[in-house]
Amino acid sequence: MLPPGSDSSLQRDQTKRFLSDPLTLLTQYEKRYGDIFSLKLFGMNNVFMSGPRPAKFVLIENTDVFSAREGNLEVGQELFGDSILYLDGEKHRIIRETIGSLFTHDMLKRHTVAMNNIISKIFNDLPNTGVIDIHKIIKNIMLEIVINLFIDKDLDGNSIAKDVDKLIIGVFSSHPSNLPWTEFARAKRSRNNLYRILGAIIDRERQSDSDEPTLIRTLLKNNTNKNISFTNNEISDQINAFLFAGYDNSSSMAAWSIVHLATNRSVYEKLHQEVVANHDDNFVSFDELRNYKYLDAMLKETERLYPPTYFIPRLALRSVNYDQYEIPQGWLVNICPLLTHRSPLIFSEPTVFDPERFLPPREEHKKQSPSLMGFGLGAKACIGYALALAEIKLLIIHLTRHFEFNILNGEIPRNAWVPSWHPKNGVWINIKRINI
């Protein structure tokens, strides 16, 4: 039996609803059909699965059946080439192993020093009072961090920000059309601009004997697989993955957590107390971040309610059975953090923002495993997980130390869904500089 739900006659309506409000559409289908259902979107058969067991089935236990590369369609492949995001199997393993050296504990300690510097400099330059769009500032910070840590300290973020944004949005166009006004064509032009800039940096790095452990140098040195050398385009493809997976997702998650701090007084007070209690030096080290237990719970709650990557696509390379259902070859299978994280079987009052659900004695996430999957699972789980949490924590600690803030109109912003789930039209906050 095929998973229930799909009705070709509703395809256009379903696709439209999916684009404008996937939360409502997917929640309705889950209520009606359960934790596995189908929807025909953009002319393709899609299965959506929620809950810990399907997530393990697809992302951990059957990676030979469910392909990330094929699951990301032509558009993604054209724009991102051989980026780690869209690789499976042996090629993926080699790149992942090489890149892994950038995320060791020692490297994270080193990255944390650089991130403190970037964040405090940008916050120092803010006015003492006024109204700001903190989402825009967060995006500047996250882009600076990716560039500084992984690409080239001398590259000016402003010179590539527009092309990065256009490229990322292009990944979500439904067809790879070359008509010049389409999002896909714009993304391709931006990709070409970016690859020209990155190509010049890579050429320079090929001549350099610097030991700076950037992504470019790590791939050029390629310690683990000495017999493989990467072309400029292959290296740019990996940089692309960092810009997409790193910059945009982190910005969205940081923005949502600040939305809740700026609208929920009790959450703000608890975090503020923790920041005051831990205040020592202006710089917070990677190991000191462990002392921020409430902040950690608050970020888990943000990941739970607003997973930036709210579904994780794979393509079934052959037909496969799951419980009483057959998933045919060629169908897209989407694992859904969005639905899993709102399951009343795991979380009490799942739509309420309540960080304490992750703290003892409640620790609701331990009831079932895996209950949180905002950073993916298995061999392709987010390689930047620890770095992302560190950068968002630092950003929130610096903001709370140096500013009082509240949201401009007292309301939670509406949702925007592309490229990742983020607050629509910015996050406008009133700020007043203070010093803790």
Q: What angle do CA 247, 252, 254 make, to 5 degrees?
A: 95
Contact 380, 294 (CB under 8 A): no
In the range 71-90, which residues lie near ligand HEM by CB under 6 A?
A: 84-85
Binding track, positions 215-244, relative to ligand HEM; x by CB under 6 A: --------------------------xx--
d(C-alpha 405, C-alpha 306), whole Å: 21
Q: Examine residue 245 and tell whether it contacts ligand HEM (CB under 6 A).
A: yes
Distance between CA 144 and CA 155 in Å, rounded?
Answer: 9
DSSP element (H, E) containing 223: none
- The per-residue b/e assignment along 115-140, b for 16 or more CB within 10 angstroms, e otherwise, is bbebbbebbeebeeeeebebbebbbe
User: How many positions of this chain bind ligand HEM (CB under 6 A)?
Assistant: 25
Instruction: Pick out residues in 249-278 that bind ligand HEM (CB under 6 A).
Output: 249-250, 253
Q: Is 17 exposed, middle or buried (0-12, 13-18, 19+ CB in 10 A)?
A: middle
Beta bridge partners of 36: 49
Minimum CB separation of residue 435 from ligand HEM in Å reads: 29
Q: Which stretch binds ligand HEM (CB under 6 A): 179-187, 261-269, 305-313, 401-409?
A: 305-313
- CB 136 to ligand HEM: min, Å: 17
Helices 73-80, 183-207: inter-axial angle, 10-degree rounding:
30
Contact pattern from residue 176 through residue 205 relative to ligand HEM, giving x for each residue in contact according to CB under 6 A and a dash for the rest: ------------------------------
Which of these segments, 38-46, 204-212, 218-226, 371-379, binds ligand HEM (CB under 6 A)? 371-379
Q: Using CB under 6 A, which residues numbered 91 to 110 contact ligand HEM? A: 96
**Closer CB to ligand HEM, 241 or 431, in the complex:** 241
**Cα–Cα–Cα angle for 302, 32, 366, rounded to 5 degrees:** 35
Helix (H) or strand (E) holding 347: none
DSSP state string for 160-195: HHHHHHHHHHHTT-SS----TTSHHHHHHHHHHHHH
Contact flag: residue 382 with ligand HEM (CB under 6 A): yes
State yes or no: residue 308 binds ligand HEM (CB under 6 A): yes
From candidates 48, 286, 358, 375, binder to ligand HEM by CB under 6 A: 375
Count CA within 13 A, CB hemisphere, residue 266. 4
Q: Which residue, judged by CB position, is nearest to ligand HEM in the bound state? A: 384
Minimum CB distance to ligand HEM, residue 392 (Å): 7
Question: Dihedral through CA 395, CA 397, CA 398, CA 400, nearest 10?
Answer: 120
Q: Is 66 in the site for ligand HEM (CB under 6 A)?
A: no
The nearer residue to ligand HEM, 153 or 265, going by C-beta atoms, is: 153
Nearer to ligand HEM, 249 or 400 (CB): 249
Positions in the binding site for ligand HEM (CB under 6 A): 68, 84-85, 96, 146, 241-242, 245-246, 249-250, 253, 308-309, 312, 374-376, 380-384, 387-388
